[in-house]
Each structure stands twice: as C-alpha cells, then as structure tokens.
Structure 1
Amino acid sequence: MTKPTTDKPTRRKADASPYSAVWTVLGVVGLGYLGIAFFAPHVLPDLSSGHQHATETTVMKVSADVDTVKSSLTKLELDVASIKAEVTAQAVQTQTLGSQLTALDDKIRLAEAPPTTTTTSDAGQQQPSGTDAAPAETADMSPAPPKIINAPPRVGAPIETGSVNSANSKPISFGPAIVKPEPRSVGIQLATDPSIDGLRITWGALSQIHSDQLSHLKARYADLGTATNPNFGLIAGPVKSRAEAKKLCKELAAQSVSCKISEYRGAEL
C-alpha cells in the first residue's frame, strides 16, 4: 500500500527579510575593509598621525598657558618687592623725622628753661677754709693778737698796700711759646649724596641695621663737591684711633657697606 502524495514533507522556501539584507551588506563591507587593510594598507587614512597632531596641539596650548601664569607670578613678585622697598624707605624716613622732631623739642625745652644764677654769698661759702690758717698755727703756737678792723693807722707807720714789693721780687721771664696742635678726631666715611636729606635717610637706615657698630657714633656731613656739582659725605665718629676705625671699616665691608677712614669733620647731621 502506497502513501498519498500529500504526506511527503515539502521544503519551505527561505524568505528574504530586510534584517538579513542589512547583515549581508555589513559582512561585505567588513570583508572589503579587511581585504584593503591586508592588500593595500596605504589607501586607508592615517588615524594615528591625526591623533598625535591633536595631542601636540593640546600640549603646546597648555605650555603657553603655563608660561603666561609664570610671567604673571614673576610680575606679581616684582610688584610685591617694589612695595616692600617703598614701605621700608617710608619707615626709615618716618623714623628720621621723628628723631628730628624729638631733637627740636629738646632744644625748645632747653631754650625755655630759666638760667641758673649764683650769688656772691654762695661763692663766699664755697671758699676753702683751713688751708691758709694751718701753716700759721703749726709755725707759731702762741695765740695771735686780735686784729681791729676799723682801727686808725699809727702815726709814722708805713702804709701797707696790696702791690708786690719790687725790691725783693725777681723779674718773671717767659720761655718761647710752644703751640701744640689739637689732635684731630678720627671718623669713617660711609656714603656720599648730592643732598643732605639723602644722607639723613641713609644714616637712619645704616644706624638701624648696623646698630652694633654705629650706635655709639654721631653723624656729620662734609661738603665734598663744588657749586656746580654739589656732593656731601656722610662721616660717623668720633673713633678712638685709626686702628679701631680700620677694624670697624673691615666689619662693615664684610656686610657690604662702603667705608673708609676719614677725619671726623663737618657739621652735625
């Protein structure tokens, strides 16, 4: 007995859907790219070089920004240093003006103080006593006769005067005059400036910074220039000897201060 034809299995025809078509196209494109990359790699674009170029551009931009920040910081440091220098100079000038005002107040106070006077009675009380009477008492122990102050002179008695008896006195002879020059004081010259006010500011700064060496000295200024080219020297002193002045200059020179031995002269600063 044979089976009917309807019982035989029938093969279903494959349906071509859009989904399978898309995958087919992607597979063809991938195979094509792999073939080009294998057989002709020079045709493909160089992606690494573009990425490297972008990286270099970014690094250069960052470096430029860093340089700008560095220049700004450097300018800020210079401004801060300038402000510090101005503040220091202002402080020194203020201290100098304060010392000048104090000195002026002292001078005014001394000028207003009443002068002290001494009377003749005080002078008489301060005379030494007992120095002239002691030899007389040791030479003659007998009491001296009383002396009448307002007694009339005796008749025929010589008149006593306070003049020197020329008969018994010897002529006074003086030898040749010897003039001894006054020893000049030693000082140290610390700076020069075309104005006296500049020397005052310089002395105020030096005396404050190097107080160990200059606290016991007083400042003077000496005219070293001419009418057309004024110049004044800052001289501190007095110093006991040239050896001490040399030692002091050596100590100041070690601290970058100009110093040389000079005569302590000039007017008070």
Structure 2
Amino acid sequence: MSVAPLRTVDTQIVPDAGAGTESGTAGTAISVDGVRKIYDTGRERTEAVSGVSFDVKRGEFVAILGPSGCGKSTLLMMCGGLESITSGRIDIEGVAMTQPRPSIGVMFQDASLLPWKTVLENILFPIKILKRPMAEYTERARSLIDMVGLHGFEDKKPHQLSGGMRQRVAICRALVYDPDILLMDEPFSALDAITRDEMGEALLDIWEQYTKTALFVTHSIREAVLLADRVLVMTRRPATIVEDIRIPFGRPRPRDVSGSPEFNEICVYLRSLIESGHGAAQGRRSGDGPVLQPGRRGA
C-alpha cells in the first residue's frame, strides 16, 4: 500500500473555519443533538451523559476518547439504537434513531463469537439473520477473511483462535453485510500491546479500502490519534464533550506516523484535556471544532 508523506504539524489550536455541519445537512451520517442519558432506579438518579451534541460526516472516522467509565460506551450504544435516550435526538442519515438498523454494524469489547460455529459460519451469521442470499455473501466473507490474514482458518472454532484472531473475525462479521456505518466499542481493549497495534493497522487497511463512516470508542490516546480523522474528548460522568480535535495526518494514514514528534505532541495535548477535564469546546456544537493545522505557528 502506498503511503502519503508525513505532514508536519504544530500543536497550536486554531478554529477550523467551514468545518462545521448542522443536523440534517447533506453529507451528515450521524447527528447527535443535546442527548442526555439518566438511569433512574426509583431510589437514585444517575446522569451518565449530559447534553452531548456532535455530527459525523459520511466516510469520516471519529474517535470518542475519555477516561474509563465516563459514558463513552453508553453514548455509542445510543447511536446504535441499543440503548434508550432520556432526552435529545440522534439522527442516522436524517432519520431519528429508535432501534437497531441493518445499515449499522457494531463491534463490541468482546468478540462474542458463537463457540459451536466456525470462523466462516460466525462471519456469515448476520446474513442468516437478515435472510440475504448466502452464496453472494460467502464470497464477500472469504475476501474479508483474506484481508485480515485469516486465510486457512475458515473452518476453525473460536477456542482454536487467539484473542487477536477472534477480533479479526468480529471485524469481518461487522462488515460482511456491507453496513454504511460501523460503531466500535473499545474492540481491542482486552488485547496485549503488540496485538493491539496489529489490529489497529488491520482496521486502517480495511477502513481505507471500504471507507465506512466510523465511530470508535477508546480510552487509548495513541489509538485515537492513529486511527481517527477527529477525536471527541469526553469528561468524567456526567459525560460531556469538552473538545473536538481534527487530526491533520492524511489518508492513507502513514504507518510510521506514531513515531513522529508531531504525533506525540497531539497525544500530550489530548492527555492534558482529559486530565484537566475542560477545553475550548464547551457550549459549542461538536463538529465546529478546532484543528491542529500543519505548519501553523503562534504569533
């Protein structure tokens, strides 16, 4: 795969003029507007997500970054119709989200493979549920298997695979029916560091070929900067978005970018936002966020 040259970047934050999108605007795949989530047991009310708003354009890869337990996964599940919304609105392609849709693929923290089925059967399981033509999608499944490096493992059961291999199967299963949007909830969090890096590269290869709209939850700063076009930084509960940062490295994403000083500067800035718990984006719709502009220098 050819790679784009490394772009230099200064970590001064400047407004990204013209980057914003309004809810329902053409080109918007996901629109989250004033969303709150409150868990009410009758004896206690806990606000998990507080007034979150952001847009994701079609074909954009957006990471949601924040400390463990801050409500990132809750927000993602609401975007997938897997968790109810207390107030606010989520639109997918301009239509209010009220229940799961075939146009949305989901990857969870655990691969959640069926132990009695083979790799190929697990990947094709959504096709069976959706009652689509099996022969057509079997060819697609085999192509995905080759892409993630699992050729020769089609007939293996989950217990015969490593953790990284099981997550590769989960990626294939989420993509086999060709969803428009891919939601990923810390899919690599249980993997060791080396395997996690390998999975990140595999995901980049797949995303750069298929260019799906992606919303990716992680608590790894490095992972967010390596994979995403934008990073939404969330606070501890009740979760809000305190900053929306555009990552300036081009596509295809250079595989050696994580070793650059510019990459590390962005990571340091994001860590400072998480540790301080506040940023410049409070009170502004996320999607109108600042960008780390290449070559931009302060006065």
Question: If the length of structure 1 is used for normalisation, what is the TM-score?
Answer: 0.16
Question: If the length of structure 2 is used for normalisation, what is the TM-score?
Answer: 0.15
Question: Greater strand share, 1 or 2?
Answer: 2
Higher Cα Rg, which structure:
1
Question: Greater helix share, 1 or 2?
Answer: 1
Higher relative contact order (CA 8 A, sep 6+): 2
